[in-house]
Amino acid sequence: MLEAQGLIRDYPGKGRLLRKATPVRALKGVDLVLRQGRTLSVVGESGCGKSTLARILTLIDPATDGTLLIDGKAVDIARFRPSAELRRKVRIVFQNPYGSLNPRQKVGDALAEELLLNTGLGAAERRARIGEMLERVGLSGAHAGRYPHMFSGGQRQRIAIARALMVNPRILILDEPVSALDLSVQAKVLNLLADLQRDFDLSYIFISHDLSVVRRISDEVMVMQAGEVVERGSRNAVFGDPQHPYTRQLLAATPSTDTGAIRARLARRAALRAARGA
Ligand SMILES: Nc1ncnc2c1ncn2[C@@H]1O[C@H](COP(=O)(O)OP(=O)(O)OP(=O)(O)O)[C@@H](O)[C@H]1O
């Protein structure tokens, strides 16, 4: 489905006076395999290279080196002229839908713009597709005539998801898609993403620093630190039996939302209190 090998990305460094700039190596040889209909999460702290990876996989930015295969076909990441067909296959949803939606553009126009990648549709077909997609994400066709500021944060993220789905992609790169939302809204958007994945047989790369969300939605997890993958495996393996000290550190820093664990902790505290009182 989507496979990357040895992805390297250098950014030009900032030189001072006569000193030559040393490039910043944001990705130091990243490998990944995303299987059909699955969710692979990429976790790590700020600056570890998650967004750089997202932009390469979505064919927004080139890589400095490495191989990228989409549906078994190699993408020329050195020359970097992805075809419209390739760009249709992989779409992205960003963290901040208010930033990624143009405030002066009606929602319907933002969605229609995506269809420029898909030249075959006439005006009536485009309108129908926009209405259908807005309904599919829990909004309505009537919303097409409104502007982004007329929606809540959760609704705006639904619009961003609808926009990403307009051209029937096979893969969505979800770059912190619920991080800017309240917890209750997060849950609804995550449920929507799960429904869409099942109905459209989508594969997701889910980029997040929030391990409680990652635990909920992933099939596989890969942990990145300073441009390198330090651990990868099934969700149960990474969360249940982490091997790398950095993964253990990330997990220790995450408050558990697992009700079983919370109940056990409360029971331990009650037992301690009872023992002290005795
Ligand atoms: N355009 C750029 N020019 C120079 N360096 C960059 C550029 N973009 C990112 N970097 C550097 O590359 C490294 C990886 O950044 P990246 O944004 O991919 O990390 P991240 O894990 O997504 O962080 P965050 O969660 O804060 O977005 C960082 O050291 C960052 O400073």
Unique residue bearing structure tokens 């029971």? 267
Q: Which of 56, 73, 61, 172 is nearest to 114 (CA)?
A: 172
Q: Report the run of H or E that residue 91 belongs to, with start and end.
A: strand 90-93
CA of 227 to the centre of ligand 1 (A): 9
Is 50 near ligand 1, meaning CB less than 6 Å away? yes
Instruction: Sheet with 171-175: list strands edge to edge.
Output: 90-93, 171-175, 203-208, 39-43, 220-225, 228-234
Q: Please report the sign of the dihedral spanned by the C-alpha atoms of residue 18, residue 19, residue 24, residue 28.
A: positive
Could you report how far apart the first and last alpha carbons of the chain are, in Å?
A: 61
Q: What is the pTM of this model?
A: 0.87
Predicted confidence at residue 118, as pLDDT, reads: 66
Amino acid at 19: R
Is 245 near ligand 1, meaning CB less than 6 Å away? no
Q: Which of 258, 220, 277, 266 is nearest to 43 (CA)?
A: 220
User: pLDDT digits over 92-102, tens only?
Assistant: 999 876 677 88
CA of 137 to the centre of ligand 1 (A): 31
Q: How far apart are the C-alpha atoms of 25 and 257, rounded to whole Å?
A: 35
Predicted confidence at residue 1, as pLDDT, reads: 86
- What is the overall mean pLDDT for the chain? 88
User: pLDDT digits over 130-154, tens only?
Assistant: 999 999 999 999 999 999 999 999 9
Unique residue bearing structure tokens 């982490």? 242
Is 39 near ligand 1, meaning CB less than 6 Å away? no
Q: Quick check: 219 and 234 in contact, CB under 8 A?
A: yes
Mean pLDDT on 75-101: 80
Please enumerate in sequence order all residues whose Cβ is within 8 A of that of 225, keeping only pairs 6 or more positions apart, or say none: 44, 45, 48, 246
For β-strands 73-75 and 65-70, DSSP reports them as antiparallel
Enumerate the domain spans of the chain.
2-13+24-101+170-257
The residue to mutate among 11, 175, 208, 229, having the most atoms of ligand 1 within 8 angstroms of its beta carbon, is 11
Atom of ligand 1 nearest to the CA of 207: 22
Atom of ligand 1 nearest to the CA of 224: 21
CA of 26 to the centre of ligand 1 (A): 7
Predicted confidence at residue 259, as pLDDT, reads: 47
The ipTM value here is 0.96
CA angle 230, 54, 200 (to 5 degrees): 110
User: pLDDT digits over 184-217, tens only?
Assistant: 899 999 999 999 999 999 999 999 989 999 999 9
Mean pLDDT on 104-125: 85
3.20.20.60, 3.40.50.450, 3.40.50.300, 3.30.70.100: CATH of 2-13+24-101+170-257: 3.40.50.300
Report residue 230 as tokens. Answer: 């330090």
Work out the number of other CB atoms within 10 angstroms of the CB of residue 276: 7
Which amino acid residue places its CA nearest to atom 29 of ligand 1?
47
Q: Higher pLDDT residue, 129 or 98?
A: 129
Please enumerate in sequence order all residues whose Cβ is within 8 A of that of 203, keeping only pairs 6 or more positions apart, or say none: 1, 2, 34, 35, 36, 37, 38, 39, 40, 170, 171, 172, 197
Atom of ligand 1 nearest to the CA of 227: 14
